[in-house]
Amino acid sequence: MRAMTLDLPPHADLPQRSSPVVLCILDGVGIGRGEEDDAVVSARTPNLDRMLATYPHMRLVAHGTAVGLPDDGDLGNSEVGHNAMGAGRVIDQGAKLVNEAFASGQAFETEVWKKLCAGKTLHLLGLISDGNVHSHVDHVHALVEQAAAAGVQRLRVHVLTDGRDVAARSALTWVRPLEEALAKHTEAGRDYRVGSGGGRMHITMDRYEADWDMVARGWAAHVHADAPHRFESATAAIEALYEADPEVDDQYLPAFVIEESGGIQDGDSVLFFNFRGDRAIEISRAFEEDELSTFDRGRRPDVFYAGMMQYDGDLHVPKQFLVPPPNIDRVVGEYLAHAGRRTFACSETQKYGHVTYFYNGNRSGYLDAELERYVQIPSDNVSFDERPWMKAAEISDAAEEAIASGDFDFVRLNYANGDMVGHTGDLEATRIALEVVDRQLARLERAVKKVGGVLLVTADHGNADEMYGRNKDGSVKREEDGSAQPRTSHTTHPVPLILIDAEDQLKLRTDVQGASIAHLGGTVLALMGLGLPDGYLPSLVAKK
């Protein structure tokens, strides 16, 4: 339920500003240990360095329970990070909600679960790892065991390999035990096995309609059992694909099909078991929409389809889901719109939904079309280490125009470079990416100062700040040839918050304990001259 009232009193000390407040999110730019693999420190970033030396700044927590994840060991990610910033408080996120629903057994008492188990074959499709960003492998094992207990005789798991939220070539860590567990059920008289698979950045898990060909490749493998490679098992597939291309990591493994998988047929049931929404929407649409023009699906099987969660509550995608998603009401954007404040949001395709959909509490479209303008800069459809500059300059172009126009009270933008290039594991490319972003920071600073505004520079989680895999003792993991093992996943390092006030009237508070990115919601409202909503974490800014 949405709040009955969004009325807020004026802020006690900060009046409404006539100049804009700009929230700049440096995606994936954390504060690391400063070692050789810390691309944030080792890149040439004179503007960021100067800002940290000149302006008020502090560290914010951007992972674990501070952003609604189950455990403080859980890596932060862009989805929960932008949710937290826009919600202004800690919201229990998908991973935690699924854990609770599975532990209590509530998920398996639903009509959705019963219908899934009633299909001729139950297909479980999703990301296989313990990254806990999009999914968790423990959920897959629980689903397999619950299916067996419910009497399911035929089951297929379609494995999307990770290498992005976990180590680059770690798929067998989870696939081998999964196939062993499935084999035990087959030995007990059931027909349980892997059906198909491939890398998450090559098949199935596209987002923001950046590359529907990914979804088409996944659809062909999962549904039609049609892929360039066929193997006796997923373990054999991954081993062979590693050997065939020593450079490929799990993100980009080609699509493969397991012999006798059978594909997905009429009367089957399908559960997409990822809990995070952005990379689950398009494959859900492929199963559910009667009219879909984005690619030729060929035969579309008549199945019962459900998601682990509902990935878009406004569009009702998917229609059926196993666990209710987070209910994020009273977001910053709603309060601003209700108060008549005008908002501009911008990023490139890869992060556009983060400054809109996720920031707005998992809501599609405008909160108030008369007061808001959202701009998406189309991302290049290439590996991001090939073009580490991405669309940072174009985002700055749009932001500068919005700031100078006088048409907006709040401008928020996301530079995707630190995250998207960081995920490639290419240290040198990530350094270049951060150097590009650093130049954009100088542009934003000039634009904000010219109109007398306020600029907040922060990040949603760490990534580029640690580019080598590390052992528990902190030493660098090594490949067989002695080279450092690339790290492609996020980190648990804190992120910066830099306050740039053109009028030099503000300071950052030092009395807020456990400051996190969830405090940024109240901070933005305070800078807009609005009081703190019930339940919001306190603002981090005050008058000098």
Find the Cα–Cα–Cα–Cα dihedral 39, 44, 50, 52, rounded to 10°: 0
3-state SS of 392-451? Answer: HHHHHHHHHHHHHHCCCCEEEEEECHHHHCHHHCCHHHHHHHHHHHHHHHHHHHHHHHHH
Contact 476, 502 (CB under 8 A): no
E strands, 110-174, are 122-128, 154-161
Contact 379, 350 (CB under 8 A): yes
Q: How far apart are CA 341 and CA 410, in angstroms?
A: 7
Is the C-alpha dihedral spanning 205, 211, 212, 216 positive or negative?
negative
DSSP 478: B
Q: How far apart are CA 206 and CA 198, in angstroms?
A: 13
Contact 469, 410 (CB under 8 A): no
Half-sphere exposure of 139 (CA within 13 A, CB side): 34
Q: How far apart are CA 257 and CA 178, in angstroms?
A: 16
Question: Is there a catalytic annotation at residue 78?
Answer: yes
Angle of helix 212-224 relative to helix 281-288, nearest 10 degrees, comes to 50
Angle of helix 78-87 relative to helix 520-527, nearest 10 degrees, comes to 40
Q: How far apart are CA 148 and CA 194, in angstroms?
A: 15
Closest to 300 measured CA to CA, from 290, 313, 314, 312: 290
What is the per-residue DSSP string for 348-359?
EHHHHHIIIIIT
- DSSP reduced 3-state for 323: coil
3-state SS of 54-73? Answer: HCCEEEEECCHHHHCCCCCC
Sheet containing 454-458: order of strands: 57-60, 495-501, 454-458, 21-26, 410-415, 343-348, 372-377
Q: How far apart are CA 59 and CA 62, in angstroms?
A: 9
Q: How far apart are CA 414 and CA 408, in angstroms?
A: 17
318 upstream amide cis, omega within 30 of 0:
yes
**Identified catalytic residue from 18, 19, 78, 364:** 78
Amino acid at 495: V
- DSSP reduced 3-state for 507: strand
- Active centre residues (catalytic): 78
